[in-house]
Amino acid sequence: MSEESGKRHDSKRGVSRRSFLGTMGAGTLGVAVTGRTAPAREAVTVESDGTHPVTLRVNGRRFDLRVEPRWTLLDVLRDHLELTGTKLGCSRGECGACTVLIDEQARYACMTLAVEADGREITTVEGLMHGEELGPVQQAFVEEDAFQCGYCTPGQVVAAEGLLRGNPDPDLAEIQKRMSGNLCRCGAYDHIFKAVRRAAELRRSTTH
């Protein structure tokens, strides 16, 4: 098709190629100069520091805190309440070094968000002592030599405490099953199982 015939064909539609391209060029130039295609809406400012209020009841004490949604209970216990008996191990719920009791049940603190623990009763290994006196489970671990390096011991002790609060007289099979979520690199499992049995005896003797 010739240029003249193309012009005639476009003119029948009411717009020529030249006028169309000229209009597009002017629009593009307008965007480049102004930097926008439509008036910007007024920005809305939301004031927030990203934290939420929580109340943690730890070892019989109340703590009113503001926490970030991503903080774990382990973060708060160690870094903000300075209860460092709860150990940081794997950070993914596999080793049990961070075991605490939440409403009497053994839970991994590294897998529990601080906001989940709001208003719950939390017991750490520090809460099992009576002043400077060891609790029955702690005493049993000493008597049965149930640790070597000792890093996993706080979690083992708390897990055993949770077991015995639910069943004061477990048999070996239940002890092995309920303590299986707590790993010991040193392999002191036989002594740990004996310590749980001994702790059961000590607990019964103190309640009579």
* The predicted structure's pLDDT at residue 10: 47
* The predicted structure's pLDDT at residue 206: 77
Dihedral angle over CA of 57, 63, 66, 70, nearest 10:
-40
**Rounded distance, CA 155 to CA 135, Å?**
14
* The predicted structure's pLDDT at residue 56: 97
**Rounded distance, CA 109 to CA 121, Å?**
13
* The predicted structure's pLDDT at residue 50: 87
* The predicted structure's pLDDT at residue 205: 87
* The predicted structure's pLDDT at residue 23: 53
Angle, CA 138 vertex, CA 135 and CA 142 arms, to 5°: 130
Which regions in the chain score pLDDT beneath 70?
A: 1-41, 43-48, 207-208
Specify whether the CB–CB gap between 56 and 122 falls below 8 A: yes
Neighbouring C-alpha atoms within 13 Å toward the C-beta of 40: 6
Q: Is CATH 3.10.20.30 correct for 50-128?
A: yes
The domain limits of the chain are 3-34, 50-128, 130-208
Structure tokens at 89: 């191990």
- Residue 102 belongs to what H/E stretch? strand 99-102
Specify whether the CB–CB gap between 156 and 146 falls below 8 A: yes
* The predicted structure's pLDDT at residue 34: 47
DSSP codes, 131-177: TTBPPHHHHHHHHTT--SS-SSHHHHHHHHHHHHHH-SS--HHHHHH
User: How much is the pTM?
Assistant: 0.76
Q: Is CATH 1.10.3720.10 correct for 130-208?
A: no
